[in-house]
Amino acid sequence: MAVEKREFQAEVSRLLEIVAHSLYSEKEIFLRELISNASDACDRLRYLSLTEPGLIEGDAQFRVTITPDKEKRTLTIADNGIGMSRDEMIGNLGTIARSGTAAFVKGLTGDQKKDVGLIGQFGVGFYSAFMVSSEVEVVSKKAGETLAHRWVSDGKGEFTIDETSSDKRGTTITLHLNEADAEYVEPERLRTIVKKYSDHVALPIVLEHDGKEETLNAASALWVRSKADITPDQYKEFYHHVAHAFDEPWMTLHNKAEGTYEYTTLLFIPGSKPFDLFEPERKHHVKLYVRRVFITDDAQELLPPYLRFVRGVVDSEDLPLNVSREMLQHNPMLSRMRGQIVKRVLSEIAKKAKDDPAEYAKFWDNFGAVLKEGIYEDHDNRDTLLELARFRSTAGDALSSLDEYVARMKPEQDAIYTIAGDNLETLKKSPQLEGFRARGIEVLLLTDPVDEFWISGVGVFKTKQFKSVTRGAADLDKIAAEEKKDDTPEKPEGDVASLIALLKLTLGDAVKDVRSSKRLTDSAVCLVADENDIDMHLERLLRQHQRATGDSKRILEINPKHALIARLVDLAGKEGALDTLGDFAWLLLDQARLLEGETLPDAAAFSKRLSSVLARSL
């Protein structure tokens, strides 16, 4: 078969450009990435061979071999793992398979490209080879197949692929090193790098030079060692290895469970937000091992989706080695382990929340939105999760727990007030908050889409009901306004009623009702949802996701103390008011819609009315 030339997927080219320019100071990690891939490939074959022993073909000594060649200035990294077929080489080495990664790379801005931490989040993996090489050659033969293939690229947009012969199963990667990167043929340099980053890799990493073989790493699973024998640096490197991450873990949890079931967990909570946190699959990435043998990184039964930011390994002593994916699905042992692991992770997080609120705030900013999914999904741990939840509020910039909010409630206040929207700054300016602010009532500001769901699912926190300030009648009479230096005389109720009647008549079906507001102090108007109607922000959210089509009718609230409304009240009783005030009625409604962040149903009509009213006033 002839040599075929192909182009990289556009995102790969972009990624390669970033890799070539931005990771300069961390170049040596290319070796860690390639060793990591090689060891994953061995793990995968080891697992397959449990049910298909023939695949091993008499070569069961899994290992990674590193061979430098000073004269040719090449470095070769070879494994006897599962290998890749032709299609797999094209797919794995020419495209970015995970849609999230591709989207992430696409969205990177100029400045972000220089941020090693950010790039590191998705693990540059195989492509890091191009940080030190002018050309990379990959020869691979898949276990059980007879043909081998060669993939070659200089990392500049294209690669070639052709058939070749190889008597060895697995993948051999040959790096043609840049002149400036000749150091990576020095045995001493290679020893140091492997020790630093890959000591914990559980199979031997062998250096081949001058006809000698030398194993460079400890070659035993890190989590099996006792805590006392593991340094913080070793934990960190292991985290980088399992999580394909560059950051510092926010928390490291290493435990041995010795109850009915025996298993070891070595789990990490990342110090920064992984880019794929909000992918619709909501998959976690914890790897399942059985007695040191890697089984799968896709045992979704191992952790609930709301803990998908956790990284690491779980190694069971009791599951059968030949456990199949199907067996994992409704496995009572696994669900028991899951229950215990969740409790353990949550209790460690809770400890940190109590002991170090500043550190906890960092965690919350990264993962709070994910953790909150558990409030409505995980009934068993709902109370714990509610205790862990933190909020921004109108009381200040600090994060606050629900208990703290309740402790600050006014004596007459019986509900936990909330307002939901897309961002804090806009929310803080919502007119619906005015009356609450005037009475010193704190309102929680909710900006995560998930808030709408768990709040309606939970309804109550320790006897206090959650209440949206944009829904229902604001029952604020019980609580006196703190600063009542407002000297606008109240309009007689009858006159206000005439204006309301006029507004209703004009606006007709466009609103559900018009009423005098208790929640406004400064603004003229606002929209609210009726007590039993869907919250306005939630409806917008659902509409964005094509989950709701209808437009619920809203209630227009007017503030009779506002100068504009007061003037309209005066005019409403006069003859011909219906004609003269028609434009005003619509302008009030459109104003309220704009404040709410809604788009106007008829912007042209709005503009026409506004111009005509302005013209008349000049």
Residue ranges in contact with ligand ADP by CB under 6 A: 37-38, 41, 79, 81-84, 92, 123, 125-127, 171, 244
Nearest approach, Cβ of residue 84 and ligand ADP (Å): 5
Nearest approach, Cβ of residue 244 and ligand ADP (Å): 5
* Sign for the pseudo-dihedral over CA of 181, 185, 187, 193: positive
Classify the phi-psi angles of 451: left when phi > 0, otherwise alpha if psi is within -120 to 50, otherwise beta.
alpha
When the beta carbons of 43 and 181 are compared against ligand ADP, the nearer one is: 43
Degrees (nearest 5) of the Cα angle 48, 52, 54?
Answer: 120
When the beta carbons of 244 and 491 are compared against ligand ADP, the nearer one is: 244
Look-up of token digits 């990493």 = 205
Q: What is the 3-state secondary structure (H, E, C) of 441-481?
A: CCEEEECCHHHHHHHHHHCEECCEEEEECCECCCCCCCCCC
Nearest approach, Cβ of residue 240 and ligand ADP (Å): 12
When the beta carbons of 127 and 309 are compared against ligand ADP, the nearer one is: 127
Listed in sequence order, the residues at least 6 apart from 307 whose beta carbon sits closer than 8 Å to its beta carbon are 284, 342, 345, 370, 371, 374
CA–CA dist 225, 219 (Å, integer): 12
When the beta carbons of 38 and 242 are compared against ligand ADP, the nearer one is: 38
Judging by DSSP bridges, how do beta strands 415-420 and 293-296 pair with one another? unpaired
When the beta carbons of 244 and 287 are compared against ligand ADP, the nearer one is: 244
Q: Report which residue type is found at 597.
A: G
Query: And the tokens for 456?
Result: 């309606």
When the beta carbons of 44 and 392 are compared against ligand ADP, the nearer one is: 44
Q: What is the crossing angle of helices 357-371 and 332-355, to 10°?
A: 140
Degrees (nearest 5) of the Cα angle 340, 346, 352?
Answer: 140
When the beta carbons of 143 and 558 are compared against ligand ADP, the nearer one is: 143
When the beta carbons of 9 and 300 are compared against ligand ADP, the nearer one is: 9
Q: Report which residue type is found at 497.
A: A
Nearest approach, Cβ of residue 142 and ligand ADP (Å): 9
Nearest approach, Cβ of residue 413 and ligand ADP (Å): 51
Nearest approach, Cβ of residue 390 and ligand ADP (Å): 32
Nearest approach, Cβ of residue 101 and ligand ADP (Å): 8
Query: And the tokens for 247?
Result: 């950051």
When the beta carbons of 138 and 527 are compared against ligand ADP, the nearer one is: 138
Nearest approach, Cβ of residue 271 and ligand ADP (Å): 19
Using Cβ positions, the residue closest to ligand ADP within the complex turns out to be: 125
Q: What share of the chain is helix, strand, coil (3-state, %, to 5)?
A: 45, 20, 35
Nearest approach, Cβ of residue 514 and ligand ADP (Å): 58
Q: Report which residue type is found at 164.
A: T
